[in-house]
Amino acid sequence: MPRDSGGSRIMIEIYNTMSKQLEEFHALHPGEVRMYVCGPTVYNLIHIGNARPMLVFDCVRRYFEYQGYRVLFISNFTDVDDKIIKKSVEEGVPADVISERYIKECKKDMQTLNIRPATIHPQATKEIQGMIDMIQTLIDKGYAYVAKDGTVYYRTRKFREYGKLSHKNIDDLRSGARTLLVTGEDQKEDPLDFVLWKPKKEGEPYWESPWCEGRPGWHIECSVMSRKYAGSTLDIHGGGEDLIFPHHENEIAQSEAANGEPFAHYWMHNAFLNIDNHKMSKSLGNFFTVRDIVAKYDPQVVRYFMLTVHYRSPLNFSQELMESAKTAYERICNCAANLDYLLTRKGAAVTPLTAEEKIPSPQAGIPSAGPVVLPSGTVVPVAVTAEEAAKLLAAENGTVSAADGLTEAEADKLGEADAFRARFEKVMDDDFNTADAISVLFDLVKWVNSSADENSSAAFLAVLRAELHTLAGILGLRCEMDGQAAAAGDDELASYVEGRIAERQAARKARDFAKADAIRDELKEKGILLEDTRDGVKWKKA
Ligand SMILES: [Zn+2]
């Protein structure tokens, strides 16, 4: 159960676009958060602007889960759209070949950025019947009408609260829209009316409907899919701020008219992403896909960077900022690596996440590393508080195991570790302020670096490690570069390299130095660097 159910901790507060205020979060269903985030139109590789809402709401979800909520996370793929059809004509393949291809590519990019898959990723083309049903309801209730050519329009003026999310006045909108009428829209009763269903054009995908053979307008899919998977009222509806008007405004009009209930309790919108202080656009030549960026920078650095700014502030992307993000993120990685090194020296078994665990699953927990097994056999998992870990260690033999030797001074120090956790939660409770959460993470790193050394007990080191990985894990950061992760996660490569290292050691033992050097050179050519240390041979990817 979430800790806010009985505890004294402060509630999570969310800035609600609808009320323009911070509001305490109260779940509609106890212990559960139902959220819907509008996903991409799949006609191309996603760009880094698409990645921002994915990353932001991935952190929101992780934090709710960390606080004990079950999260139902729904994010759609818009797979019927003019751009998809255009591309399918260009390539001479059916539209679903295009959309399926880019859904697959989008999921790959999400995994690269450690964005967990949604609980459900509905696709518009698989929910057409639901859309037809909702459109029929809207017609029956007088909120929609059928034009002569079979187009179904939403009767905007009938929905009295139209404009309440974007804080626009319907009369201002109407006078603005009057000049915007385009050809073929002359059957509209009002310029503000928007399309729910439209007739097919030659060569386009289409579906049968009571009004004409055709396809749905864009807005209806989100109203239908959110109701189908989460019920009439969502806890949270999210997306980029460019969706507030008209997309989210239209979703509200459709859902509330059809269901007679509020559509979402909290509306969250992330701000834009700029490139070198300019809007990203193809014509300016500053358009980057996620693929482009991760070819240049480690995906974990990209993720880290994008969380250093609060989601409601514009995020500026530049090479210079990325370079400094890399240096900063390395400090976190070095701190984690140093703890692992010290623990290994003490005889503890440090377990990284397995390659399988690194593939994020919808219900994965927060940890970004595996547990530590202390020399005494005590297992210290990640994702416990320092206090819980100290208790766990003490419970082992009625007292902390002598082999692991948590000293009294160290036990006192663990209290300080809990203070970082409290600060981290406080800033995340404040509308998911990941920027401040990262500052707390750096304070923790500084404190760990000055508190942990070779004289520290294994127990103490294990608790610090758990603390670091838990807080970083809430942000989806693994405390290592993915370059390292790739090397560590590739079991086939690892067993090959270790086999060759063993052969090299045998050659050296037999004083066959020529052979030993040849093996080293051969590995070097494959991009594997060997390092002879007191603890044996270590290797890494160049
Ligand atoms: Zn939507």
What are 174-211's pLDDT values in tens digits? 776 655 555 556 789 999 999 999 999 988 999 999 99
Residue 287 has a CB neighbour count (10 Å cut-off) of: 14
Cα 68 to averaged position of ligand 1 atoms, centre (Å)? 27
pLDDT of residue 398: 47
pLDDT of residue 402: 47
pLDDT of residue 530: 81
CA distance 101 to 94: 11
Cα 251 to averaged position of ligand 1 atoms, centre (Å)? 7
**Residue among 40, 397, 89 nearest 239 (CA):** 40
Cα 280 to averaged position of ligand 1 atoms, centre (Å)? 22
Cα 254 to averaged position of ligand 1 atoms, centre (Å)? 12
∠ at Cα 507 (505, 511), nearest 5°?
110
Residue 397 has pLDDT above 50, yes or no: no
Percent of the chain as helix, strand, coil, to the nearest 5 = 50, 15, 35
Cα 121 to averaged position of ligand 1 atoms, centre (Å)? 13
Locus of tokens 């996620």: 290
Cα 15 to averaged position of ligand 1 atoms, centre (Å)? 19
Domain 3-296 architecture: 3-Layer(aba) Sandwich (3.40)
What is the band of 532 on the pLDDT scale with cuts at 50, 70, 90?
A: confident
Least confident of 26-30, 127-131, 338-342, 513-517: 513-517
Cα 248 to averaged position of ligand 1 atoms, centre (Å)? 6
Least confident of 188-197, 361-370, 405-414: 361-370
Least confident of 268-282, 317-331, 513-527: 513-527
Residues of the chain with CATH 3.40.50.620: 3-296
Extract the tokens encoding 530: 């060997």
Is residue 53 a contact partner of residue 240, using CB atoms and an 8 Å limit?
yes
pLDDT of residue 131: 98
Residue 46 has pLDDT above 80, yes or no: yes
Cα 350 to averaged position of ligand 1 atoms, centre (Å)? 44
Cα 38 to averaged position of ligand 1 atoms, centre (Å)? 4
CA distance 26 to 451: 39
Cα 34 to averaged position of ligand 1 atoms, centre (Å)? 15
Greater confidence, 182 or 1? 182
Cα 526 to averaged position of ligand 1 atoms, centre (Å)? 47
Is residue 154 a contact partner of residue 253, using CB atoms and an 8 Å limit?
yes
Cα 247 to averaged position of ligand 1 atoms, centre (Å)? 6
**Residue among 472, 467, 465, 466 nearest 434 (CA):** 472
How many Å separate Cα 183 from the centre of its chain?
41
Residue type, 234: L
Mean pLDDT, all residues of the chain = 89
Is 322-480 in CATH node 1.20.120.640?
Answer: yes
Mean pLDDT, rounded, for 422-436: 97
Residue 362 has pLDDT above 80, yes or no: no
3-state secondary structure 374-414: CCCCCEECCCCCHHHHHHHHHHCCCCCCCCCCCCHHHHHHH
Residues of the chain with CATH 1.20.120.640: 322-480
pLDDT of residue 505: 84
